[in-house]
Amino acid sequence: MNNKLIELRSISKSFDGESVLSGIHLDIHDKEFVTLLGPSGCGKTTTLRIIGGFETPDEGDVFFDGVRINDVPPYKRQINTVFQKYALFPHLNVYDNVAFGLRLKKVKEDEILVRVREMLEMTGLRGFENRRPSTLSGGQQQRVAIARALINRPRVLLLDEPLGALDLKLRKDMQNELKRIQSATGITFIYVTHDQEEALSMSDTVVVMADGKIQQIGSPVDIYNEPVNAFVADFIGESNILDGVMLADKKARFAGHTFTCVDSGFGKNEAVDIVIRPEDVDVVPVEKGMLSGEISSVTFKGDYYEIIVDIAGFKWMIETSDYCAPGAKIGLYIEPDAIHVMKKSEYSGKFGDYSTFSEEMDYLSDPDAGVEEEEAPQ
C-alpha cells in the first residue's frame, strides 16, 4: 500500500449535545479508493465533511500528508468535493462549468482550453462543450461535476452519495465509470454511500460505520466473508445470525445441533454469534439434512429463489436455483467453511432472524415514529 495521505486521530463530533462521531481513527492512503459505508445517521457524511474542512472536530486531529490541517479552510486543502445534487451552474454551458475553477485561479485561457478538453475526454463528454446542464441526463450532469472537481488536480476527491439520484442501470454503469476515472487519474477517492453493492464493487477499502463509530475496515472480500460483528454481517448482504456456543476449536453448537467449522481461538464453551450466508446453504432432502424445516415463503429473484425456512421458530433465508413450494419440508446441508463464528457484541441478538423486518421498515410502518406527542389542552 502507498504512503498514508490522510490520517484521522481520535475524531469526535457532537451537534446540539448529541454525539455523531466518537473516537474515529482512520488511515487513508495515496491513490486509494475508500468507501465510508453505513446507514443514515451513522456519521459517514460528517466524517467526509471533517476531511473536507466543512466541519471542525470537537476532539482529535486531521493530518494531510503528515501536516495537521484542523484549522485549514476548505479552499486551501488539496481536496475537492462532488455532491449528490452536482451543484452545476445552470446559466453556464458544460465547457464553462468545467473551466470555472481555473478561471477563479486566473489560469491562462490557452491552458484552460487544453485542460478542459483533457477532462471532457476522460469523462466521456467530448462534444458536449456547448450544452447547458438542463439538457443533460443525470449521468451526464454527474460527469460534468466530476470533471469540474478533477480539473484543479486535487490530491483527494470526496464524493457524497453522488449516484443516489440515478436509476439502477445508470447507477451500475457509473460505478464502473468512477472506478475507471479513479484508476486513470491516480487521485485518492473517498466515497460515501449506504449502498452495499456500490461499496463492494468499487472500493479498495471499505469502512463500515454505525452509531458514530467505525465497526470494521477491510477489503470488500474481507468485509463480506469475515464480518467482525452482527451489525456488519447483517448490513453487508444477507445473513442468518444465530446464537451459538464454541465447544472447542473447529466445533460449534447452534440450532440444537453440533457442527464442524473452520474457526478456532475461542474459549471453551464461549457464547458466540454464528453467521451463515443464504447462498452458502444447500437444500437437500429432509433425511440428508443437518437441519430441517418448513418453507414459509418463496420469492423469485430472477436467477435464484429466495426462500424463508422455519426451523424450530427461527426463520432462515436460503438462496437456491431450484424451486421449492411453500409448505414443503426440506433439509439444509452446511459445509464447515460456510459457518463463520464471531464474538458476541453490543449488536448480538438484534439481527439475523427473517421473521421480522429491518429496523428501517419497522420505523416506516410505525404511525407514531418521529411524531412528538401533542400537549393536552389546558
Residues 243, 215 within the same domain:
no
Q: Is residue 93 part of a domain?
A: yes
Looking at the fold, whether 146 and 98 belong to one and the same domain comes out as yes
Given a contact cutoff of 8 angstroms between Cβ atoms, the answer to whether 241 and 351 are in contact is yes
Instruction: Choose among 30, 67, 69: nearest CA to 50.
Output: 69
Q: What is the pLDDT of residues 126-154, one digit of tens each?
A: 999 999 999 998 888 888 988 898 898 89
Mean pLDDT of the chain: 89
DSSP assigned state of 229 = S
What is the rounded CA–CA span in Å between residue 283 and residue 27?
43
Q: Report the distance separating Cα 213 and Cα 153, nearest Å.
A: 31
| 50/190 Cα distance (integer angstroms) | 12
Query: Within a domain: residue 234?
Result: no
The angle, 0 to 180 degrees and rounded to 10, between the axes of the packed helices 109-122 and 168-185 is 130
User: pLDDT, tens digit, for every residue of 40-80?
Assistant: 999 999 999 999 999 999 999 999 999 999 999 998 999 99
Query: Once rounded to an integer, what is the mean pLDDT over residues 356-376?
Result: 45
Q: Strand, coil or helix: what is 250? A: coil
Query: 311 in a domain, yes or no?
Result: yes
Give how far Cα 154 sits from Cα of 50, 77, 187, 217, 318, Å.
Answer: 17, 9, 7, 25, 46
Q: Which of 201, 225, 249 is the last residue of a domain?
A: 225
Say if residue 188 is in the same domain as residue 77. yes
127: domain CATH number is: 3.40.50.300
What are 310's strand-pairing partners? 294, 315
- Residue 372's pLDDT is 41
Residue at a domain's end among 225, 257, 281: 225
pLDDT band for position 378 (cuts 50, 70, 90): very low
Residue type at position 100: F
What's the pLDDT at 298? Answer: 95
Closest to 27 in 3D by CA, of 77, 65, 72, 84: 65
pLDDT score recorded for residue 343: 95
Residues contacting 326, CB < 8 A, separation 6+: 295, 296, 297, 298
Domain boundary among 190, 225, 260: 225
Which residue in 26, 69, 31 sits closest to 156, CA to CA?
A: 31
Is there a single domain that holds both residue 351 and residue 205?
no
Q: How far apart are CA 340 and CA 274, in angstroms?
A: 6
pLDDT for 152-164, tens place per residue? Answer: 889 999 999 887 7
In a domain, 230, yes or no: no
Identify the domain containing residue 352 by its residue range.
Answer: 239-364
Question: What average pLDDT does range 246-251 have in this prediction?
Answer: 96
Residue pointed to by grid coordinates 486531529: 61
Rounded average pLDDT over 176-194: 91
Confidence class for position 356, pLDDT limits 50, 70, 90: low
CA angle in degrees (0–180, nearest 5) for 24-16-206: 25
pLDDT band at 367 (very low <50, low <70, confident <90, very high): low
Record the pTM.
Answer: 0.85
| Cell numbers found for residue 16 | 446540539
Q: How far apart are CA 36 and CA 375, in angstroms?
A: 41
Residue 345 falls inside a structural domain: yes
Is the domain of 25 the same as that of 170? yes
Q: Is residue 376 part of a domain?
A: no
Q: What confidence tier does 37 reach under pLDDT thresholds 50, 70, 90?
A: very high
Which range, 148-152, 164-168, 348-352, is most confident? 148-152
Q: Pick the more confident residue, 84 or 6.
A: 6
> Is 305 inside any structural domain?
yes
Query: How high is the pLDDT of residue 278?
Result: 95
User: Of 51-65, 248-262, 355-369, which range is least confident?
Assistant: 355-369
What value does the mean pLDDT take over residues 325-336? 96
Q: Which residue has cell 486509494?
A: 32
Percent of the chain topping pLDDT 70: 93
Q: Are 332 and 281 in contact (CB under 8 A)?
A: yes
Instruction: Note whether 240 and 248 are within 8 A (CB).
Output: no
- Distance CA(84)–CA(73), nearest Å, equals 22
108 and 179 in one domain?
A: yes
How does residue 368 score in pLDDT terms, banded at 50, 70 and 90? low
Number of domains, the chain: 2
Give yes or no: residues 191 and 245 share one domain: no
213 and 262 part of one domain:
no
Whether 202 and 340 map to the same domain: the answer is: no
| Residues 52 and 201 reside in one and the same domain | yes
Domain annotation covers residue 374: no
Indicate if 213 and 274 belong to the same structural domain.
no
pLDDT of residue 361: 46
Say whether both 152 and 39 belong to one domain.
yes
CATH of residue 308's domain is 2.40.50.140
| Beta-ladder partners of 79 | 156
